[in-house]
Amino acid sequence: MADTVIDLIQPGSSLNLGIGMPTMVIERMPAEKRVMIHSENGVLGVDGRPLPETVSPTLINAGKETITAGKGASFFDSALSFGMIRGGHIDFCVLGGMEVDRHGSLANWMVPGKKVTGMGGAMDLVHGAKQVIVMLTHFSKAGKCKLVAECELPLTGERVVHQVVTERGVFSVGNGQFKIEQLAPGVSRDQLGIDDQWLA
C-alpha cells in the first residue's frame, strides 16, 4: 500500500504524512523523487530514520517517532507549519481513516463512547492540502467495509477526500461514487464490499 501511495505522489512535490499507517511511506520513498516531506510539528524535509548513535530527542515527526532531516530541510513553529497547510502550500497529504464515504467525507478521530484520540492536525490538513489521500485497511476488524455510503462516525471533514488507497485498490471520490482507479492483483469488483450503485 505504501508503494501504491508513492506512485500517486508527483516528483518534486511537498507531502504531509499523517500518524499511523501513512508513516510507512517515509521509509519507502525513493530519494530520486525529491519529495519534501512535511510533518506538522514543525519540519519540512523529513529524510528517514536515525541510527541509535545519531538519534535526537528534539527531532521527531507528528507521531512522536524519531526521524532525520535531510539536506534542504527547515524547522519552524506550529503556526507557520499550519500556515503551510491551510495556505495551500502543501501538495499532498496522506491520512489514516476509520471511515470514508462516497461524498469524500472522512471520519478518523473518535468513536463516541469508546475511543477519543482527538483530531490533531487532521481537520486542518483535509482543508489545506491540494490533494487529500486516505490510506486505510479496506475492512475493519469486525469485517465491515470502511468505504461507506455515508459516514456514521463524527466527521473530520465534509467532502474533502480526493483519493482512497486500500489493500484492495485505489479509488477516487466524486459525484457521490467511488471510482475504481486500480484494483489490487486478484481482486474483483464484487470483492470490494461496496454497494454497486456507489461504484463507478
Partner 1 sequence: MTSEPKVFADAKSALFDLRDGISLMSGGFGLCGIPENSIREIVRQGIRDIHAISNNIGNSGRGLAMLLKQHQISRATCSYVGGNPDLEQQMLAGEVETTLVPQGTFSERIRAAGMGIRAFYTPAGAGTLVAEGKEVREFDRPCILEYPLSADFAIIKAEKGDTYGNLWFKETARNFSPLMAMAGKTAVVEVEQLVELGEIPAEDVHLPGVFVQRIYQGRDYENVVEIPVYAPA
Catalytic residue selected from 27, 32, 40, 158: 40
Min separation Cβ 194 and partner 1, Å: 23
Residue 125 CA to residue 14 CA, distance in Å, equals: 13
Number of residues located near partner 1, criterion CB under 8 A: 51
x-or-dash string of contact with partner 1, 74-93, rule CB under 8 A: -xxxxx-xx--xx-------
The pairing of beta strand 115-116 with beta strand 110-111: antiparallel
Min separation Cβ 186 and partner 1, Å: 29
Contact 154, 179 (CB under 8 A): no
Nearest CB to partner 1, comparing residues 7 and 53: 53
Residue 117 CA to residue 150 CA, distance in Å, equals: 22
**Active-site residue 152, yes or no?**
no
Q: Which residues contact 61 (CB under 8 A, 6 or more apart)?
A: 17, 23, 26, 39, 41, 43, 46, 67
The pairing of beta strand 36-39 with beta strand 14-17: parallel
Work out whether 119 is an interface residue with partner 1 (CB under 8 A): yes
Q: Which residues contact 80 (CB under 8 A, 6 or more apart)?
A: 42
Min separation Cβ 59 and partner 1, Å: 4
Of 3-11, 48-56, 164-172, 179-187, the window that binds partner 1 (rule: CB under 8 A) is 48-56
Residues in the site for partner 1, rule: CB under 8 A?
Answer: 19, 39-43, 48-52, 55-60, 62-69, 75-79, 81-82, 85-86, 105, 116-124, 127-128, 154-158
Catalytic positions are: 40
